Amino acid sequence: MIPDATYRKHYGDAQARHYAHAKQAAVATHRGEAALVARALSDVARDESLLDLPCGAARMTAVLAQLGFTKLAAADVSPAMVELARARLADDGIDAPVTLADAERLPFADRSFDNVFCFRLFHHFPSDALRATVLAELARVARKRVVISYLDTRSFTSRKRAFERLFRPRPASKFTQTPREFAALLAQAGLEVVADHARLPLWHSLRLVVAHPRGAARNP
Ligand SMILES: C[S@@+](CC[C@H](N)C(=O)[O-])C[C@H]1O[C@@H](n2cnc3c(N)ncnc32)[C@H](O)[C@@H]1O
């Protein structure tokens, strides 16, 4: 169902364990990302439901629990990641169901969650068709907000990556947008950007957008 080989880089057992370990071990990056998430979600009531998709090994699900969210759910397409996430959440005493789910076709009813949180997935999508499919799914299952990360084309790290590829050509695995381009993609899915937070403006490429599904204000 996922059309492009570069994106369909599945996390098997060993890769999932390596990713989980590497991400958590990169302490400064993890802290920076956790601070970005805390900033983006500062206005969200802690008793609203929130789906962490993709959860990977539940790194950010644990951060969301630390931030005080009590109605958490998590999902990922990789069975190995789902297993790691379940183990991590059980170890941490966090009560959150973890579902095996593909973001292209989510097994959830319309407006199932107040908030859908999509961290470090979007930049892997190689085509606008795929971006549109997934954004439409996130918008469909979110009642109040979609909180979603992307990589900013204008940042130092994005420009450095592009420059390095001039000398060492290889298939791109990270795709970037400008804030304007990203807002336009969200608008096509019926999502209106209300805030766009940078981890460190124009240096780090990671940004986290808070968007409202059109009509959400009328149907709180
Ligand atoms: C870079 S990791 C990010 C995980 C987590 N959000 C974090 O920051 O630690 C990307 C995750 O996306 C998952 N993934 C890739 N394609 C997916 C899809 N179509 N639906 C759901 N999850 C997907 C992978 O299995 C992997 O766990």
As given in the structure block, the two tokens for residue 66 are 């630390």
User: Could you tell me if residue 61 is inside a domain?
Assistant: yes
User: Could you tell me if residue 139 is inside a domain?
Assistant: yes
Q: Give the list of residues 6+ apart from residue 136 with CB closer than 8 angstroms, or none.
A: 189, 190
Choose which residue among 61, 77, 149 to substitute to test ligand 1 binding: the one with the highest number of ligand atoms within 8 A of its C-beta: 77
Mean pLDDT taken over the chain: 90
The pTM for the full model equals 0.91
Name 84's bridge partners.
none
User: Could you tell me if residue 192 is inside a domain?
Assistant: yes
User: Could you tell me if residue 6 is inside a domain?
Assistant: no
**Which atom number of ligand 1 is nearest to the Cα of residue 20?**
9
User: Could you tell me if residue 199 is inside a domain?
Assistant: yes
pLDDT digits (tens, 9 = 90+) for 29-61: 999 999 999 999 999 999 999 999 999 999 999
Instruction: Quote the domain boundaries for residue 27.
Output: 13-213
CA-based diameter of the chain, in Å?
A: 52
User: Could you tell me if residue 47 is inside a domain?
Assistant: yes
What is the CATH classification number for the domain harbouring 87?
3.40.50.150
Ligand 1 centre from 105 Cα, in Å? 14
**What sign results for the dihedral spanned by CA atoms 182, 78, 46, 22?**
negative
**Which atom number of ligand 1 is nearest to the Cα of residue 11?**
25
Residues with CB under 6 Å of ligand 1 are: 2, 11, 23, 54-56, 59-60, 76-78, 81, 102-104, 119-121
User: Could you tell me if residue 167 is inside a domain?
Assistant: yes
User: Could you tell me if residue 220 is inside a domain?
Assistant: no
DSSP for 40-71 reads: HTTTS-TTSEEEESS-TTTHHHHHHHHTT--E
pLDDT digits (tens, 9 = 90+) for 168-220: 767 777 899 999 999 999 999 999 999 999 988 887 899 999 999 987 754 44
